[in-house]
Structure 1
């Protein structure tokens, strides 16, 4: 993968989110910035991480929201309309422990069968880190603050609220692993 996939991802995400969901597009740009920073620990998959970060929320675009579950809708769009790389679609489909939310929505089997989780823990963790340390307005935050913000926005008893409470320990662990990998990088 190369810079070309990053440019393509940015063009697709901006087309789908830029005008219809400007705040989501701002968040997406912030997540992509985190991915550029983290790509040093991913090495040869750095461009894949940046592309996945850039496209992780594309399924929120109103024209793509067929199930109402943005990881699945986004991954299907990337696969079906763009013939996107399988690893990329699997990262988008499973970003930030989406399988747990899919379970809350009755979509676990669909997600797991169409887009199995990648067996690349650091890459998966890196995408979680990028998403969960970025505010809705694209700024930096801690994973704890981000989880609290999501709970506040959606409510504790909503589908998203139930999911994020279940996922929080996994999110914090993934973020911790990436922070440790970043700290171990030579300066």
Structure 2
């Protein structure tokens, strides 16, 4: 993957999010920035991680929201409209334990069939880390604060609230693994 992939991802994401949902665009930029900090952890997959971080929430764009489930809508857009790299599309589709939320929406089988989870745990964890340590405004936060913020924004009884409570241990585990990998890097 070349730097061209990350540049393309930025152009696509900015076109879809910056004017229609600027706060989501701010979050996206923060998540992409975090991804850039993980180059030493993910090595040759750094550009793929940055591109997936840049595109992870593209399915929120109003014109793309077909099912109302942004990981699925975004992945379909990237696959069908842009013929994007399969690994990139699968990362977007499954970011931050989307399969758990898809189950609550009755979309789990559809998501799993169209976009199987990548069997690349470090890359999957890295995207979770980037997303779940970035606020809606693009600032740094802890995974615990991010989960609490999501619960506060959506409410305990919403689909998202139920999902985030279910996914929290997985999120904290993924973030912990990436933090351990970062700590193990030579200084």
Q: What is the match of residue 155 of structure 1?
A: 155
**C-alpha offsets along residues 17-45 of structure 1, whole Å, 9 cap, x if unaligned?**
01000000000000000000012200000
What is the deviation of 1:112? 0.0
Runs of 4+ in 1 over 4 A off after TM superposition: none
Which residues in structure 2 correspond to 1:62-77 (within 5 Å)? Answer: 62-77=62-77
What is the deviation of 1:69? 0.1
Q: What is the match of residue 61 of structure 2?
A: 61
- Structure 1's unaligned 5+ residue stretches are none
Quote the Cα distance in structure 2 between the aligned partners of 1:29 and 1:69. 21
C-alpha root-mean-square deviation of aligned residues, in Å? 0.3
Q: What is the match of residue 133 of structure 1?
A: 133
Which residues in structure 2 correspond to 1:10-25 (within 5 Å)? Answer: 10-25=10-25
Q: What is the match of residue 35 of structure 2?
A: 35
Q: How many residues of Structure 1 are paired with residues of Structure 2 in the alignment?
A: 187
SS at match of 2:64: coil
What is the deviation of 1:81? 0.2
Which residues in structure 2 correspond to 1:1-187 (within 5 Å)? Answer: 1-187=1-187
Structure 1 length as normaliser, TM-score? Answer: 1.00
Structure 2 length as normaliser, TM-score? Answer: 1.00
- Structure 2's unaligned 5+ residue stretches are none
**C-alpha offsets along residues 140-180 of structure 1, whole Å, 9 cap, x if unaligned?**
00000000000000000000000000000000000000000
